[in-house]
Amino acid sequence: MNVISVFLQKAITQGIPLLFGANGEILTEKSGNLNLGIPGLMYMGGVAGLIGAFLYEANVANPIPFVGMLISVICCLLCSALGALIYSVLTITLRANQNVTGLALTTFGMGFGNFFGGSLSRLAGGVGQLSTATTASAFRAKIPFLTDIPVVGELLFGYGWLTYFCLIITFALSFFLFKTRVGLNLRAVGESAATADAAGINVNRYKYIATIVGGMMAGLGGLYFVMEYTGGTWVNNGFGDRGWLAIALVIFARWRPLNAIWGSFLFGGLYILYLYIPGLTRDMQEIFKSLPYLVTIVVLVITSLRKKREDQPPASLGLPYFRESRG
């Protein structure tokens, strides 16, 4: 593969965890909830999946990669769903401030991941790394034969199944939001919870389900990073700022899942661009890594000036709903 093909492949690899997180946040925000805990949920999902696979491999003489993969996915989904449920109870039922609660969830999730990832590593006799190579091999398995196609084989088919599953989720989410009655109801809740409630829509149910499912999507982004990107190895603070990039991607994509696909690949490319420019100082590298945020700010300014309603966030985003005050 030439340098351009390698760069494009790495950009896609970097973009997939962002796309998982962005999908989860888009679904959540369409219900009117602003979940800044997405980075924490990615940590929780990633470390839970890794721990599940590690415990399976450590207690089975001849671990089967597929079984380890299944256990890993289940642990990831359960842990991230639990985190999102706690957030939902606090913000929907107890009406806690969504910004503060989300930031607290991110702080907790990062600490949760680093603590348990590091603790199990030491129990396993490691030196700061927890590894599950057998299970990771199932996540990283490529599509046979198709990767051998000249020129485009590795670029299009040289990824694990979570990459393609993420794309499927994105198309399904777009169809759900804009082509189904339930999706229309969800968007109505995000635009005006009081109006949706008056129309007979169960506001809290929609908010709870959207937030929990969105949290599970974010958790899969963490699992992808741990299992496919790093090869089944835990590194404390290894996610960096990818969770925040996922939230920025939501704004860049203007709350449209399909836009998030090419946006995630663009963000992934910008995030690693400095690696392909020789002679950069450390300061210049950090500037290049901030390019996705700068692009997001530009898009936010442009969409705000255009004032097209379809490019704006849900009208009641971040606002608690007090049913007793309706009317």
In this structure, the chain runs to a length of 327
pLDDT at 77: 98
- Report which DSSP code applies to 299: H
* Neighbouring C-beta atoms of residue 241, cutoff 10 Å: 14
- Locate 314 and state its tokens: 């849900």
Q: Are 9 and 154 in contact (CB under 8 A)?
A: yes
Phi-psi category of 30—alpha, beta or left, where left has phi over 0 and alpha has psi -120 to 50?
alpha
Q: Are 174 and 256 in contact (CB under 8 A)?
A: yes
Q: Are 257 and 23 in contact (CB under 8 A)?
A: yes
| Cα–Cα distance measured from residue 4 to residue 203, given in angstroms and rounded to the nearest whole number | 48
| Amino acid letter, residue 301 | V
Cα 257 from chain centroid (whole Å): 12
Dihedral angle of Cα 112, 116, 117, 119, to the nearest 10 degrees:
140
pLDDT at 107: 95
pTM beyond cutoff 0.85:
yes
Q: Are 291 and 273 in contact (CB under 8 A)?
A: yes
Per-residue burial over 53-85, b = 16 or more CB atoms within 10 Å of its CB, e = otherwise = bbebbeeeeebebebbbbbbbebbbbbbbbbbe
Domains and CATH numbers, the chain: 3-322 (1.10.3470)
pLDDT at 115: 86
Residue 129: exposure state from Cβ atoms within 10 A (0-12, 13-18, ≥19):
middle
| Three-state secondary-structure class, residue 131 | strand
| Cα–Cα distance measured from residue 221 to residue 18, given in angstroms and rounded to the nearest whole number | 7
The stretches in the chain having pLDDT less than 50 are: 127-128
pLDDT at 79: 97
- β-pairing verdict for 233-234 and 130-131: antiparallel
pLDDT at 127: 46
pLDDT at 269: 93
| Amino acid letter, residue 212 | I
pLDDT at 324: 63
| Three-state secondary-structure class, residue 130 | strand
Which helix (H) or strand (E) is 81 found in, with range? helix 65-88
Which helix (H) or strand (E) is 105 found in, with range? helix 98-123
